[in-house]
Chains A and B, each alone.
Chain A
């Protein structure tokens, strides 16, 4: 029975199928909200599904000179990383399916696996655009990863545990957005960096390097990368809203809080220009790290008192 429950939660709910479908729906919500803020209509609800379906039925062209195993395998690795990360976060307001002390680090690593997969895929191709996209992806990972991790460790520090389930339970009674506002800010902006949303979309700046690391991908590989990013959107939103917005105790709170957070993300997206990669690095290593260190200092001082 336990095995059956484990497999069904891995494949259908709340992981697997449910995660993929909700990822695509959140992607639609992102595009639709952005369109409404820009005074236009935006896509209909089934647009991401239609896109994925269309990509899956198209021919996948494997370009000359790449390592075919890596070319076909990297999207799968990336999607697997994102889906696995979903098993440890409180999706749909339920308790995480699996949990163990220290799984916060594992989840963040699995999410980075997605970005690393994209970067490696770009370095694998011989195309100039892919190489530049890969360089930018990896540079960006080096810049936002540390502040983002530190911002998520702030709640871990006050909760006294590095297990997501326990931190969420602690956060349910303490609204950490009020007590750690700087950490929340860094976590929010860090989430935008992780998801490569504008203004941090230099790695796939379509007006400069076509599609960055994913330029050579078409058909199934591209569909899987897109699914991976949609899943990353949900998992990232869940994580940040669980920590800072007072825990996710039931599905209704889950929907409400993640959508409010998404609205904040979309609002910031619509107001800022894309940053150049050197400006991104400068921003993170100057202001991002500074803010989160100040936040940590405050937390430590308060706990000491």
Chain B
């Protein structure tokens, strides 16, 4: 039996309900535990193996060694290249990487803010000064 206006119950109910749209900038969305947001690095256990950089599909992580003997190195993370897949988190067997679940609004007008350095930055200044801008460097294996 064919009727006209089968969506009437939905349409009628919508008159009495608020819209389903979240009023985004004024209403924060609910927090999702497992959201894959910005990468966070914890240097305490990191051994500088560089597997995360090798496995990254977007070449967003670079591990640069400063001094092999004292295990000083730092991590360069390119936010604009990262595709937030989470492979690096899984690859790291020292659990040094995790993805934040509340930092996901990453738009910015300044290109420099897209490169984040983790680690001993002051020691890295001389090395960074010598590096050409924006080229992914292979991991320096000893």
Chain A residues with CB under 8 A of B7 = 270-271
**In the complex, what distance in Å separates the CA atom of A105 from the CA atom of B128?**
82
Chain B residues with CB under 8 A of A38 = 11, 14
Given known A37-B11, A37-B14, A39-B10, contact A272–B5 (CB-CB < 8 A): yes
In the assembled complex, A286 has its CB within 8 A of some CB on chain B: no
In the assembled complex, A303 has its CB within 8 A of some CB on chain B: no
Could you tell me which residues of chain B, from 1 to 57, have a CB within 8 Å of some CB in chain A?
4-8, 10-11, 14-15, 17, 19-21, 23
In the assembled complex, A36 has its CB within 8 A of some CB on chain B: yes
**In the complex, what distance in Å separates the CA atom of A138 from the CA atom of B65?**
75
Which B positions have Cβ atoms within 8 angstroms of A? 4-8, 10-11, 14-15, 17, 19-21, 23
In the assembled complex, A210 has its CB within 8 A of some CB on chain B: no
In the assembled complex, A256 has its CB within 8 A of some CB on chain B: no
Question: Which residue of chain A lies nearest to B7 when distances are taken between CB atoms in the complex?
Answer: A271
Partner among B4, B17, B21 whose Cβ is within 8 Å of the Cβ of A41: B21
Q: Encode contact with B along A125-138: 1 for CB under 8 Å, 0 otherwise.
A: 00000000000000
Q: A270 contacts B11, CB within 8 Å?
A: yes
In the assembled complex, A44 has its CB within 8 A of some CB on chain B: no
Question: Which residue of chain A lies nearest to B6 when distances are taken between CB atoms in the complex?
Answer: A271
**In the complex, what distance in Å separates the CA atom of A163 from the CA atom of B42?**
84
Which A positions have Cβ atoms within 8 angstroms of B? 35-42, 267, 270-272
Q: B20 contacts A40, CB within 8 Å?
A: yes
Chain B residues with CB under 8 A of A42 = 19
Q: B5 contacts A39, CB within 8 Å?
A: no
Q: B14 contacts A36, CB within 8 Å?
A: yes
Q: A40 contacts B4, CB within 8 Å?
A: no
Question: Distance (Å) between the CB of A48 and the closest chain B CB?
Answer: 20
Partner among B5, B15, B19 whose Cβ is within 8 Å of the Cβ of A40: B19
**In the complex, what distance in Å separates the CA atom of A35 from the CA atom of B23?**
15
Chain A residues with CB under 8 A of B8 = 271
**In the complex, what distance in Å separates the CA atom of A270 from the CA atom of B15?**
13
Q: A41 contacts B5, CB within 8 Å?
A: no
Question: Which residue of chain A lies nearest to B23 when distances are taken between CB atoms in the complex?
Answer: A41
Q: B4 contacts A39, CB within 8 Å?
A: no
Q: A271 contacts B11, CB within 8 Å?
A: yes
**In the complex, what distance in Å separates the CA atom of A271 from the CA atom of B6?**
7
**In the complex, what distance in Å separates the CA atom of A41 from the CA atom of B19?**
6
Given known A271-B4, A272-B4, A272-B5, contact A40–B11 (CB-CB < 8 A): no
Q: A271 contacts B19, CB within 8 Å?
A: no
Question: Distance (Å) between the CB of A30 and the closest chain B CB?
Answer: 15
Question: Which residue of chain B lies nearest to A263 when distances are taken between CB atoms in the complex?
Answer: B15
Chain A residues with CB under 8 A of B4 = 271-272
Partner among B5, B15, B17, B20 whose Cβ is within 8 Å of the Cβ of A271: B5
Give the most central of A39, A42, A267, A272: most B CB within 10 Å.
Answer: A39
Question: Distance (Å) between the CB of A260 and the closest chain B CB?
Answer: 14
Chain A residues with CB under 8 A of B15 = 36-37
Question: Distance (Å) between the CB of A288 and the closest chain B CB?
Answer: 15
